[in-house]
Amino acid sequence: MADPILSVRDLVTYFRPEEGVVRAVDGASFDLYPGGTLGIVGESGCGKSVTARSILRIVDRPGEVESGEILLRRDDGGIVDLAKIDPRRREMRAIRGGDIGYVFQEPMSSLSAFYTIGNQLMEAVRLHRAVTTKEARQRAVELLQLVGIPRPEQRVDAYSFELSGGLRQRVMIALALAAEPRILIADEPTTALDVTTQAQILDLIRRIQDERRLAVILITHDMGVIAEMADTVAVMYLGKVVESGPVDAIFHAPRHPYTQALLRSIPSVLAEPRSRLATIAGSIPHPYARPEGCPFHPRCARSIAGVCDRTVPVVTKLDERHEVRCVLYGRPAEAAE
């Protein structure tokens, strides 16, 4: 297997408002391989988007990457740790867009309503390339054509509010690809889109990935999207990766009770008519009231009293690529602080 193009090791990102500490990402680790798709899945509030923003060092204050490694393999084979680069330095600004493109979750709030989409694309192009205004405009038209926007020569002068949700999402993908990055991070790229448009956006990402051998990180709460798109999966809960492995292992042999609960909650065409959908008991804890021990134990049907509520499980390697963080799988747990 090729070396990872991106390796995240024990990433910790905390927010420190006056009310207390929010441990948004609390020791996440995973690898992304060239040409592969890593799906990061979990409920809202589990730290998926903060993990992605931490990689690009664009976490909003009072959030900050506190520790861990974000190892990016460059074209020349060298490795740079993004966690050690000042987010304001030119080197980090060049990596954003140049090496790693980001498709933000909300196109309407990410695109400016005061500038045409062409102007925004041209700005992204000229930030990473020494081109004239005419060349940048031509590149903007090519990008709109790449992502399948009809009549790109006319649409380049349109404003974001003149486009449908699906077309705005395509513009966001075009912006992320403006400097031909090697990695694309797509944060909930199909949220608030109808089913047909969702399928079109996913097909678009897959086609561009195949054409350019992009490595993709796909962030979603939709297990169906993960099953369709991902090669490997990282399941997150309260800032930790509780299970990771190949997509087939996660779907056909899930080990962590949280992963199993997520899969049970997927509607099935084979279910009895009018039968109730399975749900996960309880809800995500308040950020300032995290449970001791295993963070999932208050909602877990397999929780062991006196163990899960007192100890923090460590990672157990089930095979070469499948790992789980749960006391049910053999390794002793470390004492909770």
Which tokens hold the place of 255?
Answer: 């080990």
How do the pLDDT tens digits run along the chain, 337 residues long?
689 999 999 999 999 998 889 999 999 999 999 999 999 999 988 999 999 999 999 999 899 999 999 999 988 889 999 999 999 999 999 999 999 999 988 777 788 889 999 999 999 999 888 899 999 999 999 999 999 999 999 999 999 999 998 999 999 999 999 999 999 999 998 877 888 889 999 999 999 999 989 999 999 988 989 999 999 999 999 999 999 999 999 999 999 999 999 998 887 767 677 778 778 888 888 888 889 999 999 999 899 999 999 989 999 999 889 999 999 986 544 433 3
pLDDT at residue 334, rounded to an integer = 45
Residue with tokens 């005061």: 114
Class of residue 275 by CB neighbours under 10 A (exposed 0-12, middle 13-18, buried 19+) = exposed
pLDDT at residue 95, rounded to an integer = 93
Q: What is the pTM of this model?
A: 0.91
pLDDT at residue 194, rounded to an integer = 84
pLDDT at residue 335, rounded to an integer = 39
155 contacts 144 by C-beta, under 8 angstroms: yes
Provide φ and ψ at 319, rounded to 5°: -155, -165
Q: b/e map of 52-82 (b: 16 or more CB within 10 Å)?
A: bbbbbbebeeebebeebebbbbeeeeeebeb
pLDDT at residue 1, rounded to an integer = 62
308 contacts 300 by C-beta, under 8 angstroms: yes
Q: b/e map of 212-226 (b: 16 or more CB within 10 Å)?
A: eebbbbbbbbbbebb
